[in-house]
Structure 1
Amino acid sequence: MPLDTITCDKWHCASAPYFLAEGSKKVQINSQPACRNGDRSTCEAKISDTQEKGIVRIGGGSVVVRDIMSGRNPFAEMFGEILGGLAVGAASTLFRRGGLKAIKQCLNSVGCTLVSEIASTAVGSMVVASVTQAFNSVRHPVHAATGAKVLNGEDDTDFIIDGVYPLVWSRIYQSRNTGENRLGRGWAMPFDVFLTIDDTGKGLENENIYYHDMSGRRLALGKIALGQKVFYQDEGFTVYRTTNNLFLVESAEGDYQFFEANPHKINTLRLMKSADRHNNALHYRYANDGELVQIHDDAYLTDIRLHYDEITQRLQSVTRHQGQEEKTLVTYTYDAQQRLVQVTNADKRVTRRFGWDDESGLMAMHQYATGVSSHYRWQRFDAFTIEDNEPEWRVVEHWLKDGKRCLEHTELTYDLAQRTLTTVETGGETTFRRWNEQQQIIEYTNALNETWWFEWDTSRLLTKAIAPDGSEWGYTYDERGNLTQSTDPEQQSTCYDWDKDFAFPTAQTLPNGAAWHWEYNEHGDIRRVIDPLGHITRLAWDDQGLCLGQVDAKGNETNYRYNARGQLIEQRDCSGYPTTLTYDDWGQLRSLTNAQNETTTYTFSEAGLLLTECLPDGTENRYDYDATGQLVGITDAGERHILLRRNRRGQVIARRDPAGHWLHFHYDTFGRMQALENEQGEQYRFGYDALHRLTDEHDLIGQQKHYQYDVMGNVTQIKTTPGPCVDTPMPLSPQVTTFGYDKVGRLLFRENADYRTEYLYQPLSVTLRRVPMAIWHEAERTGTTARVEYQDALTFTYDKVGQLVREASARGDYQHHYDVLGNITRTELPHQRAFEYLYYGSGHLQQTQWRDNAQLTVLAEYQRDRLHRETLRTSGALDNETGYDCRGRITHQVARQMNASQFVTPVIDRRYRWDKRNQLIERSVSYGQTGEVFTAGHWYYHNYQYDPLGN
């Protein structure tokens, strides 16, 4: 047995056993180098023995006799020593799915038009909407400051393969990306990243490193010494250069990119592997000519192959392999100049078409699967050039077409010396934008001449937003670019604490003092969530980052199991009842079986469209699609057909019900609904302003509603004009309701013809009070509004998690109490009376009680099935039994005397029969006598027939 083994209680990617790995070059013990203070183990731990005096280093330098795998860095087995390590990992799964995020740069330097992500949670919805509008000059995005055309949306995601580390195949087009890609100029994939090294001839320490991201940007990283890591705040990632001269790029959210030398390009490193913080990975394999030909995970459950044209080397198709089977996921078609013109999915449906400008070589048109097409005209600006001295082209005109009909049109006029852009849209609406030296928008005026101003720091982080009414939002950040405080115009601040190494939150403190806390395990998964009341939810994870279970604040446990792909195959609820899921060999959902052992099965197309849904009783719902993949027909289990018609935007323009009646939807050129026409040809009509907000509404009886807005987008007035009345010769007067708001959009008052209602806010309460308008107008006339006497007042008080705990008015106080899961357990009424509620599990009602002073009365008790549906209710002297069929429909309701035998005639016995369409076709009722031996009683039958509409 080796004598150089050690024990280590820290988490490591490398598995035990661990050994002493380093020792003296000159001194040996048992023919092995002697280990001293500071020498390392195979997991990178260091020997540390406190010495009373200064350290004396004997035995010369150190020699490594075993491979050292970092105990701090889960990927150091491949990379060797990385100084600084990776600490505990990155953000939790919840965080990565779009929970609380720091405000990163809204847009980076020239060409980076992909990063426009701002967190609504932290920033405020009004600011988010304004910033988004400011940076995109048209809705089919053109970046305002650079004039660049960008595609990076859902329509350009060709497929997604589920897995522990999912493969998302998205095409990214950026007109300022001058690089040639497998799809042509300007295109890139998320894995199209690489590093280049500028050899200065002065050694490795003086090389200039560049990172080429998926948008085509060439980011200067500066000089990175061997064994050094550098964090780039404006980009939000860290670059490691190992002592073995290997490179790792780490995102703030816990994704990693590993690079290897490219044998076909000197001083270039290509992507070899991408992984998450649990070392779930995708591997990239290259052919002898250097082209990427395969992407696979560790178990080859995700295994795709890239197929190229032998002459042009353009990507022709991508196939997925499962054992000996193969299927095509996407196919690409090119024109004679080898420019991408068509994308075809796994169902052989064309999902995208493209057209190109011959002079600039840039995208002149892209067409959606539905047929609507977006067009662009380019202009060359010779006085301003981008990287590599390429001429600068900007979009100067955009129009949207539905076949030959123009739907939208925008002209873009730039003043590059002043850094401004003016757009003129269909109908003459004008917008204006101004940007700073970093291409960050600092001024935006919308079509209603309302202006927002923005301020940014040197790292391109938003620090201030000023609304058209002068309201200000402020933001501060830590040294890593994480948002630490946001302050709204009412001077309410929300504060955030972050992990010291990675961009995930550890605490959020709201303006009312409520604080949420998150704790993480060493892998970066959420271990505990602590709410503002101190209630704790615990989560457990496996080594792949899959949640194995959670225990709520009441101790209820929910457990999960997964297949090798990381797909959920079983969930056991707090009562131990399982729900199971199965999948086909390609990972598509095949069946779902609930806790009652009732199974629903599914079939999907190759591209993932739901085709059939077979219900537990054997009936089936079917779904039909047109050539573009849009849902156009539904056939339910009762063979009723619903037909849908769509326009080229994909909007439903008509719906035919099973009886053959049509419901029509009419849209304007902007895609806004103008009219809804019912089966009788009667219409609801709608109108909009230049910001596409609803301004007018006309209903079937002639009633009209008109909406007005303030500069912040809040509704300030609703004017309702009644329709003509045959019994009243004179037209009825309009009803006007007006609204007022504070600077953060909270309602302050509401006025109609009768009353003025006011809303007063405190950190944990809101008070409503009202006064007749006659009294209010008199107080306004005399200047005594501060002393007006309100007739009614009602105060709602909340706890720190937002639960209503008190309602106070002149009629008395009502107080509410909750358990740790937020289920209401007691409602106290005036005069020492109360309703009380008992639950089991995570919140299923088990008993309702009435308390009158010291007297307690049980109102009802409940029993439930494995789906937690009510099956028995004891109320007073009656037991009420409820039964269900496999589709969840009630089949019987039987009321008996409490604890009576099943063979005793029920007090009431109701039976129900249903057809395949979920329509009740028979209801039978029997009224019996208590205490008698069960005999067939007299039944009353009610039968129902329906027209095709279900009437």
Structure 2
Amino acid sequence: MFAAARVGDDIGHSAALAGMVAGTLVGGFIAAAGGLAAGALLFTGLGASCLGVGVLLVGLSVAVGWLTGELATTARDTLAEGGADSMTQQGVITTGSPNVFINGRPAAVASASLVSCQEDGAQHLTEGASRVLINGLPAGRRGDRTTCGATVMTGSPNVLIGGASEQTLPVQAEVPDELYKASDLTLLFAGLLGGGGGAGGEAGALGSLLSKLPGINKLARIACRAGQLLTSVAAVGIIARPVDIISGQKFLCGDDELDFTLPSRLPVRWQRCWRSGNPGDSVLGRGWSLFWETSLEHYGDGLVWRAPSGDYISFPMVPEGRRTFCEAEKRWLEHHQDDTWSVYDISGERWHYQPLQACSPSLPLRLTGPCGNAILFEWNPDRTLHALTDSAGKRVMCRYQDGRLESAWLDDEICLVSYAYDTEGQLVTVTGRGGSVRRRFSWQDGLMSAHEDANGLLSEYRWQTIAGLPRVVAFRHSGGEQLTLKYDFDRGTRQATRDDDAQAHWLTDDDDNVASHTDFDGRRTAFVYRDGELTDVILPGGAIRRSVWDRYGRLTQETDPEGRTTTYHWYRQTDGLTRIVYPDQTTSQAAYDLRGRLECETDPCGYRTTYHYPDDDDPLADSVTNALGGVVQLQWNHQGLLTQRTDCTGSVTRFEYDRFGQLVRSEDAEGHITRREWNAAGQLSSVIHPDGSRESLLWNTRGQLTGWRDPLESEVRQAYNVLGLPVSLTDRTGHTRRWHYDPRGNLLCLENGNGAEYRFNYDATGHLLSEIRPDGTSRHMQWDERGFLTALEERGSPAADGGSGLRWQQFGYDDSGLLTARTTRDAGYHYRRNHRGQLTGVLRTPTAEGMVRGIDEDAVQFTYDAAGKLLCERGVNGELHYVCDAPGNLTALTLPGGQRLAWLHYGSGHVSAVRFNQQTVSEFTRDRLHRETGRSQGVRTQHREYDNLGRRSLQRSGLSADVTLPEQAILARLYRYTGRGELAGVSDTLRGEIQ
């Protein structure tokens, strides 16, 4: 019999950690000794091989190395098991049964009860009594486990529950994942320290794959952290479309390398990646990796995973039924009971691999999502991909030539992408669906010397071997920008010199992280790291923006430079947010089901939105219920695309798609049908409106929209530069506007098509300094070292006497960038804010000149509810009070005199009536599209009609039928439109015809 578990009872992890450390040390000594012995035998064998006995000695060296490796592993595992006997409290059970209580506390139940673990965050209780159910789930007891492998340590003193344990959810390995990895690497290095022996236990050391060069996954995380902390990626060293200036690597893995996407509940994203520091080969050539070129294989005494990006990640060997976590790469490796393997992260997408083979990598069987939707892979005998089938049943087949991927075809009928190569097998062109070339590449000595994007922008690179590796030392593109890069690895500095001689500098720490960055304008930003994560950014001026990340790479806390802190709580080991605590301590919350699907959201005011799913395997909700109880019904097709939406009033909108997921037909709630046509390249070519009129879109070979043709065949044409920016726009009357840019894409001049122009000037980092307008007026800006606008001067056009009007403003900010003060010639304005940064008050203080002009001191205060909606506005003239419903619609406004305006809503926020105090002012009727079709105001009514393009065609007003007055004549107005949708005329019963 076991004590019943309740909310508040302790959970704990065993001392397997201490056992593992002890095992690592003992195993390391054994491996080191074995390495020395094996090394001696190996060298002796090599020296004696000419005598015919060396082969035996070399063989004995291999055997000794293997045996010592096995003994070391056994020693480690034995001590680890011994440490599992003791427990350390790591958290408590936090939720339980809503209606069953034990000793006055909610009873804990498997699956439904949450626990809070100091090591692993929020987890579920996963075991309970097989024969005692509470709310239909096994009752939790002392000794039952959680999903993170912790055990319930305490329970009821007088309620006991017997029977065997039943497991309802998977359990993580008890020994910490990072310790498994640290242990195995310790054994590996201990064997290597013994000399060249130990080939059987440690052969093929992982050292060749543990390069100091960051992989694409790490570079992506660096860019992500910079974005989260509102810092440019250039500040952390990613420049030159793109080059990592810290390591000197050139890499590609952005949207330009996304060749196509097939929509489904688990979409296929055909992504290419290339990195100059990647030694691996690919069906596209050296350094490349397609997303499906991933594998898992033995290497030494551990495993190596080739990620979809082409990065190589080392894992230890994991026993069946266990998993381990690579903190550096934020990935788990799990060894399943059927001897298959999987690798996954907090997103829940999981790569499944065949059982490991001794002599070849294990290839992926499938890629699955959290709800089980899968992409299935089929392989050729030469271990290249034959075909994949997505969760919508669409099949992509691959064709090869001379060992290189030639093309990928949808259902073996339509070419989605094709590839061409040079004589050395290097990729030179990527051609998309429809025949447009999306990418071009040039190579020199196996390194990428140039690439051209779909817009025609040619980026060129020059390489030089520095510190034993080729690194980019110069960059330029056909738009005019140039950079010269310099590296000083001894001093930890990098430098980029621009074509205008401006310089930027980077200083690195001992781990090759960017410690500080000096921008081209001289402003300096510094960075602080903890546990390998970028946590603090010291901004120009000294203010600090802080963040805290957990071991899974999730943001748990961020603090702005003014000390306003927001904290984030996550659902188990997923990317689902369960709670956000704002700086004023208000919270928003979310709940998820066991598959990680969002079940409900609760805003800071307590209003809840819930989501319902049709079955356990569908990640798409079939209904959403808002805080007022209104239900929106949703239907999806096999591609995971919305086909029907029924709003809470019963209005239905329908959608249809082609095989590529492109919208081809939509029907609104009034039955109006709009059709769309697409060209072979997947670009929208025509829109056919419900009245049969057609708009056409014209595209060039680079995939840019170059023209639009209206239903009357008039055209608007547009041209672009190599940066993809518009350079001219010619309207249907022949007037042309033109734009001119500098090499960095800053707008220098705008010609308005009438012979006049706007001119702009910038500082070294792109801040606007001046604007001169066609009428001679100008605007001049000043910026402080933090990058905030501090002064704006506006000058009028010169007068006949040579003078001109002048208006100026000065601005002040807090360190987070929120406006705190504004000063003009007439008055100063001071802005106060609450803990969430919302404006709570404005104080106006007139200057002496302002007082002469009659400006008085004034103040306005604002208050908000927990969700940030405005509740009250107070000023010298009284107060305004606002009331909003759960979706945020204004329902009442109380004026300073006490009068009250009220709005009545239906559905999701459409106004049905307006009242003033107790009197109805207007009532509204609406069609199924919720457009106003009628309103009443006293005895007068108004009626509106619309054409099938949604334009107002008729507006008629008159008096109620029971009123007989001379004024009761009906007033009507008819609207007419041209084929272009422009208003052509109005027929008015009062004013007559208006053209």
Q: TM-score w.r.t. structure 2 length?
A: 0.77
Match of 1:673 among 747, 763, 766: 747
- Aligned ranges for residues 415-454 of structure 1 at < 5 Å? 415-454=488-527
Task: Report the CA distance shift for 1:656/1:481 in structure 2 as closer, same or farther (over 3 A).
Answer: closer
Counterpart residue number, 2:929: 867
Aligned partners of 2:520, 2:285: CA distance in 1, in Å? 37
Counterpart residue type for residue 315 of structure 2: L
Answer whether contact 1:896 1:907 (CA < 8 A) is retained. Answer: yes
**Equivalences for 1:834-913 in 2 at 5 Å?**
834-851=900-917, 856-898=918-960, 906-913=969-976
Kindly indicate whether residue 235 of structure 2 is the aligned counterpart of residue 169 of structure 1.
Answer: no
Task: Provide, for residues 858-897 of structure 1, a one-character-per-residue CA deviation record: whole Å limited to 9, x for no partner.
Answer: 1111110000000001012111000000001111001121
How far has the Cα of 1:9 moved from its partner? Answer: 10
Q: What amino acid maps onto 2:900 in structure 1?
A: A
Query: Counterpart in 1 of 2:53?
Result: none
Native 8 Å contact 2:265 2:391 kept in 1: no
Contact 1:123–1:486 at 8 Å: present in 2 too?
Answer: no
Query: Once the two structures are superposed, what CA deviation does each residue of 1:419-478 show, in whole Å capped at 9, x if it has no partner?
Result: 2101101111111112233332111110111111111123x2122111121111222234
Matches within 5 A, 1:406-485: 407-458=480-531, 460-485=532-557
The answer to whether the 8 A contact 2:831-2:839 is kept is no
Q: Take 1:481 and 1:339, find their aligned partners in 2: how far apart are those partners?
A: 35
Q: Percent identity?
A: 28
Residue type matched to 2:256 in 1?
D
How far apart, CA to CA, are the structure 1 residues paired with 2:219 and 2:901?
50
Q: In 2, Cα distance between the equivalents of 1:866 and 1:196? A: 60
Residue of structure 2 in register with 1:367 after alignment: 452
- What SS class does the counterpart of residue 269 from structure 1 fall into? coil
Give 1:487 deviation, angstroms.
1.6
Aligned counterpart for 1:347 among listed residues 415, 434, 443: 434
* Counterpart Cα distance in 1 of 2:477 and 2:822: 41
* Corresponding residue of 2:41: none
| 1:144 to 1:250, Cα distance in 2 relative to 1, 3 A | same
Relative distance call for 1:440 and 1:214 in structure 2 (3 A) is: farther
Whether 1:110 and 2:110 are equivalent positions in the alignment is no
Q: Which residue of 1 aligns with 2:400?
A: 308
Question: Are residues 597 and 217 of structure 1, via their aligned partners in 2, closer, same or farther at CA, if it must alter by over 3 Å?
Answer: same
Q: Report the Cα distance in structure 2 between the residues aligned to 1:109 and 1:529, rounded to whole angstroms.
A: 43
Q: State the alpha-carbon separation in 1 of the partners of residues 985 and 312 from structure 2.
A: 72
CA distance in 2, matches of 1:669, 1:56: 76
In the alignment, which residue of structure 1 is the partner of 2:978? Answer: 915
Tell me, yes or no, if the aligned pair for 1:683 and 1:700 is still in contact at 8 Å.
yes
**For the Cα contact (< 8 Å) 1:770–1:792, is it kept in 2?**
yes
1:690 and 2:764 equivalent?
yes
Given residue 928 of structure 2, which amino acid in structure 1 is its aligned partner? R
Listed as ranges, the matches of 1:2-13 within 5 Å are none
Question: Does structure 2 conserve the Cα–Cα contact (< 8 Å) formed by 1:262 and 1:270?
Answer: no
Give the gaps of 5 or more residues in structure 1: 1-7, 12-21, 23-36, 41-49, 63-67, 74-80, 86-106, 200-206, 385-391, 779-788, 928-938, 945-951
Does structure 1 retain, via aligned residues, the 8 Å contact 2:225–2:534?
no
Superposed counterparts of 1:613-632, under 5 Å: 613-632=687-706
1:513 is the counterpart of 2:588: no
Q: 1:245 to 1:479 in 2, by over 3 A?
A: same
CA distance 1:122–1:505, change in 2 (3 Å) = farther
Deviations along 1:27-77, whole A, 9 cap, x unmatched?
Answer: xxxxxxxxxx9999xxxxxxxxx999999999xxx9xxxxx9x8535xxxx
CA distance in 2, matches of 1:449, 1:563: 55
Distance in 1 (alpha carbons) for counterparts of 2:948 and 2:901: 34
Deviation per residue, 1:712-754 (Å, 9 max, x gap): 211111111222123xx03125322110111111111111111
Residues 751-900 of structure 1 mapped to structure 2, 5 A cutoff: 751-763=823-835, 765-774=839-848, 791-851=857-917, 856-898=918-960
Aligned pairs for 1:147-158 (under 5 A) are: 147-158=248-259
Contact 2:707–2:715 at 8 Å: present in 1 too?
yes
Q: State the AA in 1 paired with 2:410.
A: R
In 2, the alpha carbon distance for the partners of 1:803 and 1:590 equals: 39
Find the counterpart in structure 2 of residue 930 from structure 1: none
Query: Partners in 1 of 2:542 and 2:830 — Cα distance?
Result: 24
- Equivalence for 2:379: 286
Matching residue within 226, 231, 244 for 1:129 = 231
What is the rounded CA distance, in whole Å, between the counterparts of 1:424 and 1:794 in structure 2? 50
| Residues 113, 143 of structure 1: 8 Å contact kept | no
1:261-284 CA distances to partner (integer Å, 9 max, x unpaired)? 477x71522222101011101011
1:522 aligned residue: 594
CA contact (8 A) 2:294 2:363 kept: yes
Q: Contact 1:894/1:906 (CA < 8 Å) preserved in 2?
A: no
1:472–1:393 Cα change, 3 Å? same
Alignment partner of 1:128: what SS? coil
User: C-alpha displacement at 1:287, in angstroms?
Assistant: 0.8
- Change in 2 beyond 3 A, CA 1:690/1:909: same
Query: In 2, are the aligned partners of 1:120 and 1:128 still within 8 Å (CA)?
Result: no
Is 1:595 aligned to 2:665, yes or no?
Answer: no
Residues 121 and 232 of structure 1: CA distance in aligned 2, closer, same or farther (over 3 Å): closer
Question: Which one of the candidate residues 696, 700, 712 is aligned to 1:638?
Answer: 712
- In the alignment, the residues of structure 2 paired with residue 502 and residue 134 of structure 1 have an alpha-carbon distance, to the nearest angstrom, of 30
Instruction: Quickly say closer, same or farther: Cα 1:776–1:618, change in 2 above 3 A.
Output: closer
* SS across alignment from 1:180: coil
CA-CA distance at 1:599 after TM superposition: 0.4
2:743 is paired with a residue whose SS is coil
- Counterpart amino acid of 1:818? C
User: Shift in Å at residue 579 of structure 1?
Assistant: 0.4
Matches of 2:144 and 2:351 in 1, distance apart? 30
Report if the CA contact (8 A) 1:108-1:438 is conserved: no
CA distance in 2: counterparts of 1:231 and 1:148, whole angstroms: 27
Q: 1:696 and 1:299 mapped to 2: Cα distance?
A: 54
The Cα of 1:234 is off from its aligned counterpart by: 2.8
Q: Which amino acid aligns with 1:831?
A: G
Secondary structure of 1:181 counterpart: coil
Give the equivalent residue in structure 2 for 1:394. 471
Whether the aligned pair in 1 keeps the contact of 2:237 and 2:506 (CA below 8 Å) is: no
Q: Please name the residue that 2:75 is paired with.
A: none
Is the 1:474–1:486 Cα contact (8 Å) retained in structure 2? yes
Look up the SS of the partner of 1:537 in the other structure.
Answer: strand
- Of residues 276-285 and 472-481 in structure 1, the stretch that sits farther from structure 2 once superposed is 472-481
Residue 266 (1) aligns with residue 359 (2): yes
Distance in 2 separating the partners of 1:766 and 1:181: 59
1:108–1:477 CA distance, 2 compared to 1 (3 A): farther
Write the deviation string for residues 750-782 of structure 1: whole angstroms up to 9, x where unpaired: 11111111111223652111112238999xxxx
Deviation at 1:116, TM superposition (A): 4.8
Return the match for 1:242 from 336, 343, 364.
336
User: What residue identity is the alignment partner of 1:344?
Assistant: T
Deviation at 1:370, TM superposition (A): 1.9
1:547 partner SS: coil
**Alignment CA distance shift 1:139-1:849 (3 Å):** farther
- Within a 5 Å distance, the mapping from 1:532-611 to structure 2 comes to 532-542=604-614, 543-611=617-685
CA contact (8 A) 1:342 1:352 kept: yes
Is 1:118–1:128's contact at 8 Å kept on the other side of the alignment?
Answer: no
| Kept after mapping to 2: 8 A contact 1:475/1:483 | yes
Shift of 1:177: 0.8
1:566 and 1:329 map into 2 onto residues whose CA distance is 20
Cα distance between partner residues in 2 of 1:351 and 1:461: 35
Q: Letter of the aligned partner of 1:415 in structure 2?
A: D
Output one character per residue of 1:1-32: Cα deviation in whole Å (capped at 9) or x when no partner.
xxxxxxx9979xxxxxxxxxx9xxxxxxxxxx
